[in-house]
Structure 1
Amino acid sequence: MRDGPLVRRARAGRRDVARRQGLLRWRGRGVAWVPPLFLLVAIAVADYHTIGEFRMISWIVLVPGIAAALCGVWGTALFAVVSLVTYVVADSAWPHEYRAGRGDFVLVALGGILAVLACAIRVRDERRALHMGDVTDTIRRTVLRPLPPGWGGLDHAGVYLTADAHARVGGDFYDIQPGPHGTRVLVGDVQGKGLGAVEAAAALLGTFREAAYHEPDLATVAERLETRMIRHRGHTVALGRSDGDRFSTAVLLAFPDDERQAVDVLLFGHEPPLAVGPGGVRTLPAGAGLPLGCRDLAPGPPESRRWRVAGDETLLLVTDGVTETRDAAGAFYPLADEVSRAVAEDPGIAEPACLVAFVRDGTLRHGGGRLADDTTVFAVRRRPVRHAAGGPGGEAPEGGRLRS
């Protein structure tokens, strides 16, 4: 997503704050005062050893400026005062004909005042950057809520990378919703970028979390998502915005409670999931449904398909940030081939966390470290019965306890 210049500057400021705090600490203690103090002493000593025709004491005006970039307001004010006192003492030690005089005194005093003002502005902007970073983190947690380990009886792992290095959330989304009718999983990609894409993703996720819990039929969940996308577009049009044609691709999975080695797949113009296991990689296609928000082009919900999935197979779901990544020659990232080769060499790659890390690294490597679009890699598989998670939709062996 792309934000305004204030948000981008605030986020860049927050990174600068964190970087500065890391660089200016030694053994857990702040050492921001060391550079300006060293410069102060160096200038005073150099001035003492220079000849009368070449005085360096006026260079002490640099000290408050350095302090303004590294220290707090009170620290900068202290260096401004110390610099002025040092100037007076050092200049008074010379014969009258070699003294720098009142002109440089005014320069040092004015430089100290300006340094304090600049430091106050810098500190204010840093605090604003930290606040904006907190707001961004809150938005990210709202759209992509943290998923507890084993949530809904599934082992899962996910990674989300934004094409904009300054952003932390965009139009990609994913979630797991356990409920009385089994556990449902949704992964999708809203068309476009910016806050409008984030709003649409949040609207779809909110509907999914309610419908996936309450509705027994997966087709009804799909219908609710389609209706929500259309309603959201109508709302944006009523506001006079230009994104009234926005749509979203998505893949909807359902893990039924009555059949542990089965998964229902329903696609909305999205890449089908890959079943990755020690035996290899296979695609789990379903009916060719249109993206959410495009139902008027082909009325009727897309058809779901049930697939049998072994206990050691992981379902891999990605957005087009992975499949459309190109290398220097313009070739797309061969996801299925790369995963097949990796699993053949090391079956442990099929573990959700390992699989997600492998695809993430492969995508970045194939694209030369650059992403043309937001990228989501999400992997899920049922937990073994002895490790099933608690919460709605979780399972436990007879006599065992539900664990979250």
Structure 2
Amino acid sequence: MSPGSAGHGLHDRYPSAGRYGVVHRYEMLRVGGRSVAWVPPLLLLTAITVADYNTTGEFRIISWIVLVPGIAAALCGVWATAVFAVLAVAAYVTVDNAWPHQFQTGLPDFILVTVGGVLATLACAVRVRDERRALHMRDVTDTVRRTVLRPLPPGWGGLEHAGVYLTADTQARVGGDFYDIQPGPHGTRVLVGDVQGKGLGAVETAAVLLGTFREAGYHEPDLKVVAERLEIRMGRHRDYVRALGRDDGDRFATAVLLGFPADRTDVVDAVVFGHEPPLAVGPDGVRLLPAGTGLPLGYRDLAPGPPRVRRLPLAAGETLLLVTDGVTEARDGDGRFYRLRDDVTRAVAADPRVVAPAPLVAVVRDGTLRHSGGLLADDTTVFAVRRTRPERGEGREGGRSVS
């Protein structure tokens, strides 16, 4: 699969940034949990030694033993490589001296094997150092990813949820797509969005918007005020970036802001900032929520005035599906766009259980990758939420179940 699946997967709600986030080459060769990286160089050492001992004097191959520490340098650690360098020299001296003087390869090949072993050990040390540096950078990136896309507990804010985030860059771990759930005393709010552009600037903008959402989404009773706070924060961030003299001062973001009121379970409030409206997926079919189409965050000056909040009916058991343009703009080899709604409709008709967030997200993820042949042109986020069903005798407070 070409895209890097760096993000929260369906079964990876708590992604790890531990040392095994980077797979060392010598750790790839394992059997029963034990490393067997030493087997290939040992087999090569044995094969060359036996072959040279059993050939004629006119065809000596013992000098090929210089390959052994070279292979070990690519697969093993520094100490193992040094051991194989010593074994190669010892095997060379033993086998070469077993031949009559006129057939011995002599000092030149001895120097070749010795210098080759030393160079292989040094090369292995450089390789291990670079792998440790890559591991450190991966840990840093994973920390940033968990800060921007924080792990979401099951049933967070009274919502059943599932999400998957795929990066178009196979080496990237985080990009400009973002999503979060914020429960509070006025209900539970959901934000899904996509920052224009790529790179650290997009990550920075996503972090700024999420920070504002987490505070305003908790404290503000009116979803319209939360939307205004996001717009104001986007404008302030753009002014800050321009003041620094950076060339990404015109960056914008598309987003969908949802509010699940604490006092009602049959409606959802929605604000759309130039984003694809959510789909409501239920056992009876798939429908596009008429949430309107406002301007992206950062374009407030083109249409002054408060954002429009729409209150929309939501049937019990319906799941809201939100995607970024990595899904809607995925193309096949003939340039045709992925037909999200049609694909989801077919999946629900074939199996009504697909309406649950986790299988629904899996259907969209697999459909997008299948349609694009695994080659994503943009970061891709699929996020699905629906209200959990409180057990009998439970109430609702602040978007969370309480006794």
TM-score by length of 2: 0.92
Q: 1:324 aligns with which of 321, 329, 336?
A: 329
Query: Residue 275 of structure 2 corresponds to which residue in structure 1?
Result: 270
Query: Residue 190 of structure 2 corresponds to which residue in structure 1?
Result: 185
Determine if contact 2:24/2:131 at 8 Å carries over to the other structure: no
Q: 1:205 aligns with which of 202, 207, 210?
A: 210
Query: Residue 283 of structure 1 corresponds to which residue in structure 2?
Result: 288
Query: Residue 395 of structure 1 corresponds to which residue in structure 2?
Result: 401
1:109 aligns with 2:105: no
Q: For the residues of structure 2 that align with 1:237 and 1:305, how far apart are their CA atoms?
A: 33
Determine if contact 2:26/2:74 at 8 Å carries over to the other structure: no
Query: 1:88-99 maps to which residues of 2 (within 5 A)?
Result: 88-99=93-104
Structure 1 counterpart SS, 2:142: helix
Deviations 1:272-305 (A, max 9, x none): 1111100111111224311000000110122111
Q: For the residues of structure 1 that align with 2:348 and 2:40, how far apart are their CA atoms?
A: 53
Q: For the residues of structure 1 that align with 2:344 and 2:53, how far apart are their CA atoms?
A: 69
Report the CA distance between 1:67 and its aligned residue. Answer: 0.9
1:46–1:15 distance in 2 versus 1, CA, 3 Å: farther
Query: 1:44-55 maps to which residues of 2 (within 5 A)?
Result: 44-55=49-60
Q: For the residues of structure 1 that align with 2:59 and 2:397, how far apart are their CA atoms?
A: 78
1:207–1:15 distance in 2 versus 1, CA, 3 Å: closer
Q: 2:45 aligns with which of 11, 36, 40?
A: 40
Q: For the residues of structure 2 that align with 1:293 and 1:283, how far apart are their CA atoms?
A: 25
Query: 1:213-362 maps to which residues of 2 (within 5 A)?
Result: 213-362=218-367
Aligned residues: 386
Structure 2 counterpart SS, 1:65: helix
Report the CA distance between 1:135 and its aligned residue. Answer: 1.0
Determine if contact 2:26/2:77 at 8 Å carries over to the other structure: no
1:364 aligns with 2:376: no
Q: For the residues of structure 1 that align with 2:36 and 2:382, how far apart are their CA atoms?
A: 41
Query: Residue 384 of structure 2 corresponds to which residue in structure 1?
Result: 379
Q: For the residues of structure 1 that align with 2:350 and 2:297, how far apart are their CA atoms?
A: 38
Q: Which runs of 5+ in 1 are unaligned?
A: 3-13
Report the CA distance between 1:96 and its aligned residue. Answer: 1.0
Q: For the residues of structure 1 that align with 2:206 and 2:107, how far apart are their CA atoms?
A: 65
Q: 2:62 aligns with which of 57, 60, 75?
A: 57
Q: 2:23 aligns with which of 13, 17, 24?
A: 17
Query: Residue 10 of structure 1 corresponds to which residue in structure 2?
Result: none
Report the CA distance between 1:19 and its aligned residue. Answer: 5.7
Deviations 1:338-385 (A, max 9, x none): 212221221111011011000111111111211111111110000001
Query: Residue 157 of structure 1 corresponds to which residue in structure 2?
Result: 162
Q: For the residues of structure 1 that align with 2:395 and 2:382, how far apart are their CA atoms?
A: 22
Query: Residue 9 of structure 1 corresponds to which residue in structure 2?
Result: none
Q: For the residues of structure 2 that align with 1:389 and 1:53, how far apart are their CA atoms?
A: 91
Report the CA distance between 1:329 and its aligned residue. Answer: 2.3
Report the CA distance between 1:16 and its aligned residue. Answer: 7.3
Deviations 1:127-182 (A, max 9, x none): 11111111111111011000000000000001111111111111100000000110
Q: For the residues of structure 1 that align with 2:311 and 2:22, how far apart are their CA atoms?
A: 50
Q: Which amino acid aligns with 2:401?
A: E
Determine if contact 1:171/1:190 at 8 Å carries over to the other structure: yes
1:74–1:159 distance in 2 versus 1, CA, 3 Å: same
Structure 1 counterpart SS, 2:130: helix
Residue range with higher mean Cα deviation, 178-187 or 316-325? 316-325
Determine if contact 2:185/2:397 at 8 Å carries over to the other structure: no
Determine if contact 1:252/1:266 at 8 Å carries over to the other structure: yes
Percent identity over paired residues:
72
Report the CA distance between 1:390 and its aligned residue. Answer: 9.3
Structure 1 counterpart SS, 2:391: helix
Report the CA distance between 1:393 and its aligned residue. Answer: 2.4
Q: For the residues of structure 2 that align with 1:289 and 1:302, how far apart are their CA atoms?
A: 7
Query: Residue 176 of structure 1 corresponds to which residue in structure 2?
Result: 181
1:55–1:92 distance in 2 versus 1, CA, 3 Å: same
TM-score by length of 1: 0.92
Q: For the residues of structure 2 that align with 1:391 and 1:138, how far apart are their CA atoms?
A: 32
Deviations 1:305-350 (A, max 9, x none): 1111111100011111111112222221111122122212211110
CA RMSD of aligned residues (A): 2.0
Q: 2:85 aligns with which of 75, 80, 85?
A: 80
Q: For the residues of structure 2 that align with 1:159 and 1:267, how far apart are their CA atoms?
A: 21
Query: Residue 6 of structure 1 corresponds to which residue in structure 2?
Result: none
Determine if contact 2:22/2:135 at 8 Å carries over to the other structure: no
Determine if contact 1:151/1:390 at 8 Å carries over to the other structure: no
